[in-house]
Structure 1
């Protein structure tokens, strides 16, 4: 894989062909459209290469000839963000719409067809790093994993958020995202194969934590959000839930409070909410008492909410 620096190119078809090969593995790229426009940017998250591909209609093919040219033994996972894609491998076909995931294997022929402008996020990494048996992944290639079901409801938003922020992060921060990406992908694929119990404990731990974080984010504005409710929603005891957060040097209530404060700070700096009173902003994020909200905000950010807004 390439170095840790970001690569951004906006190119014509001939240059795009070369960029695809440089960014991934040898592939044949073609289009029937008269005009072509595309861009690729990538960054290394440790051993995971994270790329964003934005382009107009075209087809890429991994053929026996291109496999002979270079066969590094990677898995690639595509998350469709915008547009439509048809992925073909192992005599299967997956039609991907925004939010859908699919995995494919560079050691065997595959094809991706895009019939219009699209945006896709692609994770590429050595096959040996995915903590799911190769025989299991062989059953999942070119099978759509809906971003609206199971663990994919956590994985897809996480990867989309990563796609918004990761290209401007520092190399040291990017490297730390490696395990998080691999753990989440492994958990999502193991769930599809009903192999979740066979995953390493640390992978199950991270997958559960991400699921819980997502649940909390979706319910931050509810002042009745509690440890007991979160535990019940995830079929664990309150003690098990607390232990998950203790392993991250945090507490459930502390994490909820911090996320509410961060969301409140974001809204206080947003001109769209300048007409709302400070107390209303706090209440939007579960702080029902204005004085309590003001005290917590100042303790965390050094200013009262009102002073922060007028700075």
Structure 2
């Protein structure tokens, strides 16, 4: 399991909850003045993941106002970039006379080195969301470019925004699928996705290091394949055309990972079928229906491929899963990403996080 810190206000005496929460936030993030109308019996929870230089957390709390003041910045500045995706309740930032309201389809970006006021939640709603904090030094962004990003709402309905939102939300759901040593690699994925999102938003792809551009392209390709597994006619040519690259370059990207394009497609289909077979809610679905649903042409082809990959037939696997004889059901995506909806005949159409 990844290294994580958990806070639940129910574990703290009511009179101490807000102060304990304030201390936790200031230690994990950057010092802020915090006020709330619910100080006497504050309700909050947080799970914080340590991904090396990167932190990710899921949180829920009653309404608060947080102020990152010039005085606090002079006293302590981690020089980080903070991204928040609200999933419930309002989130508002105020910088001078400029106010921005964020919803579940938009990312908030702010710079810990600049004064900012944040209002989260209201009298009737808990604020909930996922957040990410990255050292500015890892993003290689000129200061003027970062300032432009803090005055925008970054959409998570499509493209890199959707990839990042799904990465964050599904990472928080599946932390038990990883080892502590996976934290650094997952942190690198987060940095690459944020870098690509920022560069795309600013129309400045040239600021990305070549390796970051390559890694984010691979992530987009994987997401596209995942959402089009049902298409039995999916080919390397389709994938290359959607991403405006040659088939030869596509094949080279996979070869550099020790894989082939067609091999990856088959592997992903098998993994999705394996998940379906272990899912109690899909017991009524026949093995043939499972195979066809994930893009296999025939149940016979699927059965042969499944036995070769897992050492047992699909029916034997389903029976073992029902009996609890399997040691573990592995996640479908080794990176923890649930891709956005990307269709073969069009652009990204994710509905958001």
Q: TM-score, normalised by structure 1?
A: 0.93
Match of 1:226 among 235, 239, 246: 235
Higher relative contact order (CA 8 A, sep 6+): 2
User: SS of the residue aligned with 1:171?
Assistant: coil
Listed as ranges, the matches of 1:224-303 within 5 Å are 224-303=233-312
Listed as ranges, the matches of 1:82-121 within 5 Å are 82-89=88-95, 91-114=97-120, 115=122, 116-121=125-130
- Cα distance in 2 for residues equivalent to 1:214 and 1:244: 15
- Cα distance in 1 for residues equivalent to 2:198 and 2:173: 24
Residue in 1 aligned with 2:344? none
- Cα distance in 2 for residues equivalent to 1:227 and 1:59: 51
- Cα distance in 2 for residues equivalent to 1:57 and 1:304: 53
Match of 2:317 among 303, 308, 311: 308
Between 1:152-161 and 1:277-286, the stretch displaced more is: 152-161
Residue in 2 aligned with 1:23? 28
What per-residue deviation string (whole Å, max 9, x for no partner) do you get for residues 199-230 of structure 1?
11111111111111111111111112111111
Residue in 2 aligned with 1:58? 64
Match of 2:8 among 7, 10, 14: 10
What per-residue deviation string (whole Å, max 9, x for no partner) do you get for residues 38-83 of structure 1?
1122122121112222112222111123223312211111122333
- Alpha-carbon offset, residue 182 of structure 1: 0.6
- Alpha-carbon offset, residue 168 of structure 1: 6.2
Listed as ranges, the matches of 1:119-198 within 5 Å are 119-166=128-175, 169-198=178-207
* Conserved? CA contact 2:67–2:117, under 8 Å: yes
Residue in 1 aligned with 2:213? 204
- Alpha-carbon offset, residue 290 of structure 1: 1.0
Listed as ranges, the matches of 1:34-53 within 5 Å are 35-53=41-59
Corresponding residue pairs, total: 308
- Cα distance in 2 for residues equivalent to 1:149 and 1:132: 22
CA gap 1:65/1:132 in 2 versus in 1, 3 angstroms: closer
CA gap 1:210/1:126 in 2 versus in 1, 3 angstroms: same
Between 1:184-193 and 1:100-109, the stretch displaced more is: 100-109
CA gap 1:50/1:255 in 2 versus in 1, 3 angstroms: same
- Cα distance in 1 for residues equivalent to 2:313 and 2:216: 36
- Cα distance in 1 for residues equivalent to 2:277 and 2:104: 31
* Conserved? CA contact 1:77–1:104, under 8 Å: yes
The alignment yields a C-alpha RMSD, in angstroms, of 1.8
* Conserved? CA contact 2:56–2:168, under 8 Å: no
Q: TM-score, normalised by structure 2?
A: 0.82
* Conserved? CA contact 1:74–1:127, under 8 Å: yes
- Alpha-carbon offset, residue 9 of structure 1: 0.8
- Cα distance in 2 for residues equivalent to 1:304 and 1:168: 24
